Amino acid sequence: MFGLKVKKEKSTVKALKICFTGHRPKGLPWGYDETKESCILFKNVMFSIIEKAIMSGYTYFITGMALGIDMICAEIVLELKKKYKNVMLECAIPCLNQEKKWPLSEQERYKNILKKADVVHYVSKAEYTDTCMNDRNIYMVKACDVVIAVWNGKPSGTGNTVKMARNAGKKVRVVDPYNPQ
């Protein structure tokens, strides 16, 4: 099937799935500087949240691979895969070449995550369109059991995804990037 790269055989047991949604760097207190104390604190909180989810039986994680929260959460899942061998990471890519206008360092980070992911799924086989990001979000919400949203409560694409998930009856865990808990 086009756009689906699976590196591990699928189990016959249905995995409990979580997807991540969240702000791009411009909407985060640390921006692009992940060495800031606020980002380090945030990553520690997210590590704990994701590890608790794993210990509660959630073993399949989906990220949309946008700059910011998506890639941070993907890297945390990859770190936790070293300890929990049954954990899987799916990268839901909205379109071909989504990363082509990003800074080179972020393109390298993106490619590194894709190499380590268990599943890479291209939601669209076309280049960027006005709807591809929303189509990716629809795919992720339909595919998951729980949404972890890093959201400041303001209108945004993340806010739209939270609303979509709630309307679909999905569990939603909101983490405020300005006050992560």
User: In the 8-state DSSP scheme, what is residue 171?
Assistant: E
pLDDT tens readout for residues 25-42: 999 999 999 999 999 999
| pLDDT over 60 (residue 107) | yes
Q: Would you say residue 1 lies in a domain?
A: no
Domain containing residue 51: 15-175
Give the count of domains, the chain.
1
**Residue 66 counted as domain residue:** yes
Residue 2 lies in a domain: no
Report DSSP letters for 117-152, one per residue: -SEEEES-SSS--TTHHHHHHHHHHHH-SEEEEE--
Q: Is residue 118 situated within a structural domain?
A: yes
What does the pLDDT look like over 115-149, one tens digit per residue?
A: 999 999 999 999 999 999 999 999 999 999 999 99
Residue with tokens 């500087």: 33
At 99, which CATH number? Answer: 3.40.50.450
Q: How many other C-beta atoms can be found within 10 angstroms of the C-beta atom of residue 62?
A: 28
